[in-house]
Amino acid sequence: MSLGAGERRITYDARGLAEPFATVPKISEIAGEKATFDAAALTTRQINLELKWLLYEQGVKNVTVLNPGAKHSIGVGILTRCKLRFEGSLGYFGLGVIDGPEIVVTGRVGWSVCENMMSGVVVIEKNAGSLTGAAIRGGDLVIKGRVGARTGIDQKGGTIIVCGDAGSNTGFMLQRGRQIICGNVGPHLGDSMYDGTIYVGGTVKSLGLDCVPGEWTPADTELIERKFRIYGLGSPPKFQKFVCGKKLYNYDALEPSERKLVIH
Amino acid sequence: MCGIAGVIHRDGPSDIGTEMTRMLNSMKHRGPDSTGFALFGAPSDLLVIRFKLADANDKRDTDFKDRLDRRRREVGNRLKRIGATVELADSDTEYAYRVSVNYDGDLKALTDMLEEVPGCEVLSIGHSLEIIKDLGDSNTVAQQYHLKGFSGTHAIGHVRMATESDVDISGAHPYWAYPYSDIAVVHNGQLTNYFHWKRRLERMGARFQSECDSEIIAVYLAQKMSEGLDLKTAMKQSLEDLDGVFTYMVVTKDSLGVAKDEMAAKPLVLYESDNLIVMTSEEVAIRAIIDHEIDTYDPFESEVLVWSL
């Protein structure tokens, strides 16, 4: 279509990633309960359709995905027990909203890996971006490298293990569950956390609002040693423990109208 | 949300036009409104001026072409008057131009004189910097301005989702650091003390062509460097002076830098090898120019990183 005077070419396909008509590629090599496919030439939706076709329609329990190419939103919505292996890196929102799978990523994953994960185990061999494990409810998420900011924001359960350093606002609004950070953490650790526990092996740049040192118990030692043993992480470093001080407004017994009086 | 990208080749020039086009194209979902490139080609004794005399979406009324002709002639006259000898002039569009001039005078005087011509905005001035920006995605802009095969050592680019200012070339990134040559900035984020710094820099003599908060970063950095700070120190000071959430990239004639705010609120993924550094808002953009498996990471809050040729 030709442009009229003064019209410019803002093309709305530039918004681009929607694929309303994608079909299942059916390109996997299937051998019994195992399957492998190369994702290099596939789009996000094609990769996810292929995965679901294998897991839900072909009875496959163990899938290897080659060359995911850091594409976004790969491996989301897997709600069955299975084993997945991604040979390479994933982009943003990888492995979100999963319930049950055991997943290994040999590369890195971008922002919001495993967001809203319900259960299962995810091991990332390299780094992860910010918002790692955002709002997870359960399961174990292990990152063998470093992570960005706001790890486990709004976490409601499960365990996040980071073998390297973590950025600012780690454990922001943590509500339940555990974070085990082996390296250093940035400023505002555990800011506005409601509950849960954060273990830090390195230095803490600063504590966030209502995050306080916690009393170490034998249960903490048992947890750390068990997790390190399960994931073959070697000998654990000496950790500091941090918990919620429970001094924030949400722990008082005031009605909202009474709180206004106190504040003013 | 916008997407930004930067690349520096420390082992010699590469086809940065094509590289940046590919990277920005892979992030076009982050900003469909406009695309911009700041490319550093081979240094020249001549000064390359990129300017526009109308905006891409100006109404094409019956007088449009004549008006542009008049403005173009007036720019030529003014260049002559200020002592700039035009060695080469060309145009990829009816409204955006590129001239190479012999000129060693005051850049502020030169720019101000040109921008007195109605509709004229100087997009960049440099001995190796060229800023190309227009509406549309990266393939569209690169094709229009013939960027494939643009050889250079380092570059930054931007895809824009307009939020607080108009969809036009003036609001597109990168921004040149008026009136200093060979400095440009791209930015993803929002500056909350924008008006404070705009007024302060205007009092120091700066001019701003857009209502976009990002424009002040380039001018701020150039101002600090003109006061004697090196690039990295100026960028570190910007973390104290600029409020808001941001990741910005800056290029000078021999360096590429990046800074993140204290909350690390805006994304950045970095790949670094001995001779090649690539950083983008999303890793998928890095993969657009590197086809093998690589290690990448997110820089932390308040980080300032600078690489030089």
Q: Which two tokens stand for residue B46?
A: 């001549």
Task: Give the start-to-end residue ranges of the domains of chain A.
Answer: 31-250
Distance from CA of A100 to the nearest CA of B (A): 27
- Together in a domain, B12 and B96: no
Cα separation, A86 vs A107, whole angstroms: 8
Q: Mean pLDDT across the stretch B93-121?
A: 95
- Together in a domain, B85 and B152: no
In A, minimum Cα distance to B29 occurs at A15
Kindly state which CATH superfamily the domain A31-250 is placed in.
Glutamate synthase, alpha subunit, C-terminal domain (2.160.20.60)
Is A146's CB within 8 Å of B297's CB?
yes
Q: Looking at residue A133, what is its pLDDT?
A: 98
Cα separation, B4 vs A263, whole angstroms: 43
pLDDT in tens, A13-54: 444 556 777 899 999 999 999 999 999 999 998 999 999 999
- Together in a domain, B223 and B143: yes
Q: Taking 90 as the threshold, does the pLDDT of residue A255 lie above it?
A: no
Task: List the single range of A77-81, B62-66, B171-175, B206-210 with lowest mean pLDDT.
Answer: B206-210
**Ramachandran category for residue A95: left, alpha or beta (phi over 0 → left; psi -120 to 50 → alpha):** left
Last residue of a domain, one of B100, B127, B154: B127
pLDDT in tens, B237-296: 999 999 999 999 999 999 999 999 999 999 999 999 999 999 999 999 999 999 888 999
- Together in a domain, B242 and B228: yes
How many interchain CB pairs under 8 A, A with B? 105
- Together in a domain, B160 and B209: yes
- Together in a domain, B185 and B69: no
Does B143 contact A at CB distance below 8 Å?
A: no
- Together in a domain, B107 and B169: no
Task: List the single range of A104-113, B13-22, B73-82, B208-217 with lowest mean pLDDT.
Answer: B208-217
When pLDDT is cut at 50, 70 and 90, the band that residue B57 belongs to is confident
Range of the domain at B61: 44-127
Report the percentage of chain A scoring pLDDT > 70: 92
pLDDT in tens, A152-209: 999 999 999 999 999 999 999 999 999 999 999 999 999 999 999 999 999 999 999 9
pLDDT in tens, A115-158: 999 999 999 999 999 999 999 999 999 999 999 999 999 999 99
Last residue of a domain, one of B127, B162, B185: B127
- Together in a domain, B141 and B230: yes
Q: Nearest CB to B301: which of A91, A107, A167? A: A167
Task: List the single range of A206-220, B128-142, B153-167 with lowest mean pLDDT.
Answer: B153-167
CATH number where B215 lies: 3.60.20.10
- Together in a domain, B29 and B39: yes
Task: List the single range of A31-35, B24-28, B164-168, B255-259 with lowest mean pLDDT.
Answer: B164-168
> Does ipTM exceed 0.95?
no
Q: Does residue A123 contact residue A103 with C-beta atoms inside 8 Å? A: yes
Q: Taking 80 as the threshold, does the pLDDT of residue A12 lie above it?
A: no
Q: Looking at residue A258, what is its pLDDT?
A: 77
When pLDDT is cut at 50, 70 and 90, the band that residue A5 belongs to is very low
Q: Note which residues in 232-291 of chain B have CB less than 8 A from chain A.
A: 262-265, 267, 269, 282-284, 286-287
Q: Can you point out the beta strands (E) in chain B?
A: 3-9, 14-15, 34-40, 47-52, 85-91, 96-102, 121-126, 129-135, 151-152, 154-160, 175-176, 184-191, 244-251, 255-260, 269-272, 276-280, 304-308
Residues of B labelled as active-site residues: 2
A153-180 in b/e burial notation, b at 16+ Cβ within 10 A? bbbbbbbbbbbbbbbbbbbbbbbebbbb
Q: Looking at residue A94, what is its pLDDT?
A: 97
- Together in a domain, B136 and B89: no
Q: Which two tokens stand for residue A250?
A: 């949400």
Give chain B positions within 8 Å (CB) of A206: none
CA–centroid distance for A139 within its chain: 10
Report the percentage of chain B scoring pLDDT > 90: 86
What residue type is A114 in one-letter code? C
Report the percentage of chain B scoring pLDDT > 70: 100
Largest CA distance in chain A: 76
- Together in a domain, B155 and B217: yes
Give chain A positions within 8 Å (CB) of B60: 5-6
**Type and span of the H or E element at B201:** helix B194-203
Cα separation, A132 vs A112, whole angstroms: 5
Is B29's CB within 8 Å of A16's CB?
yes
CATH number where B77 lies: 3.30.70.3400
What residue type is B203 in one-letter code? R
Q: Taking 80 as the threshold, does the pLDDT of residue B163 lie above it?
A: no
Distance from CA of B168 to the nearest CA of A (A): 10
In B, minimum Cα distance to A12 occurs at B32
Domain tally, chain B: 2
Distance from CA of A134 to the nearest CA of B (A): 14
Q: Looking at residue A15, what is its pLDDT?
A: 45
pLDDT in tens, B182-201: 999 999 999 999 999 999 99
Give chain B positions within 8 Å (CB) of A110: 267, 269, 282-283
Task: List the single range of A145-154, A247-256, B99-108 with lowest mean pLDDT.
Answer: A247-256
- Together in a domain, B232 and B148: yes
Q: Looking at residue A3, what is its pLDDT?
A: 44
Last residue of a domain, one of B82, B107, B127: B127
Strands B151-152 and B14-15: what pairing?
Answer: antiparallel
